[in-house]
Amino acid sequence: MIAKTALVTGAASGLGYELALLLIKDNYNLVLVDKDAPKLEEVKTLFNKDFKNDIHLLVKDLSQPNIAQEIYDEVAHLSIDVLVNNAGFGLFGTFAKTDWKRESDMLHLHILTTTHLTKLVLPSMIAKKSGKILNISSLAAFQPGPLMSMYYASKSYILSFSEAIANELKGTGVTVTALCPGPTKTLFQETVSSDCSENKISFNMACPVQVAAYGYNAMKKGKTVAIPGAFNKFLSTIPRFVPRNMATRIVRNIQEKNREV
């Protein structure tokens, strides 16, 4: 059987690494994208010990303008069968005081790069009548998030965008899945706040291996929205039943408790 090809962003660690591992176990060739060159090389070396599949590494900063086109141009000779838009980071603090450059990078990464990469690979998937796209959103997508306002808003965009195009693509053979995990034990927290990288509220902290497996299975089934964990599913419904200002206050209280020194 001829191996298909999957492109995974943010593949050097965390959910990206776990999803790449699941893909190569399913006999996919890989295009792994990350800005951390040494870790990408480590991943390739590790995978090469057990698998003979082709692995292409692209060292790219996905927060930069027009980076999606640059990536696509380098893999245009390949047929991308699976796209995993995983790369992302968070930023903690009040909007009036947080660093705009950092926020701009986050918006470019979460919104522009995710959207543009999706747009670039879709035509060939539709032409083949086959393809899968997995966009990593978050439980944060379901409500506003004081003290992480831009992160929550950008993840809401990913969820809404994914649901909309999933509907547009019905009957084409192409599916889009938005994975919406809650807090997950990855390096993500280290990028949120330099002062306090560990969540103080950790009872709902998920294992990245389990989250990746849940999202991967949902993608294979063509499920549009995937929320791992019964408690997270419950939390995602809270904004439907309580006033939005109350849900927003609850989120702020959790954020303050998580980050208090």
User: Which domains, and CATH codes, for the chain?
Assistant: 5-259 (3.40.50.720)
**Given this model, what pLDDT does residue 192 score?**
44
Question: Which is catalytic among the residues 28, 151, 152, 216?
Answer: 151
Contacts of residue 158, defined as CB under 8 A and 6 or more positions apart, other chains included, come to 85, 110, 111, 114, 135, 136, 137, 138, 141, 178
Give the whole-angstrom CA distance, residue 33 versus residue 37: 9
Nearest to 14 by CA among 188, 190, 227: 188
CB 83 within 8 A of CB 121: yes
**Among all chains, which residue has been given the structure tokens 């047929």?**
79
**Residue 25: CA count within 13 A, CB half-sphere:** 8
What's the one-letter identity of residue 69? Answer: Q
Q: Could you give the 3-state DSSP secondary structure of residue 147?
A: coil
Clarify whether 72 is annotated catalytic: no
Q: Are strands 225-226 and 55-59 parallel, antiparallel or unpaired?
A: unpaired
**Given this model, what pLDDT does residue 186 score?**
61
Contacts of residue 105, defined as CB under 8 A and 6 or more positions apart, other chains included, come to 63
- Kindly report the backbone phi and psi dihedral angles of residue 39, in degrees, each rounded to the nearest multiple of 5, phi listed first: -70, -35
First to last CA, the chain: 54
pTM attached to this predicted model: 0.88
**Given this model, what pLDDT does residue 79 score?**
94
- pLDDT mean by block of 10 residues, the chain; 261 residues: 90 96 98 98 97 97 96 95 96 94 97 98 97 96 92 97 98 98 65 43 70 97 94 81 78 70 40
CB 85 within 8 A of CB 109: no
Contacts of residue 178, defined as CB under 8 A and 6 or more positions apart, other chains included, come to 135, 136, 137, 141, 158, 159, 162, 163, 166, 224, 225, 226
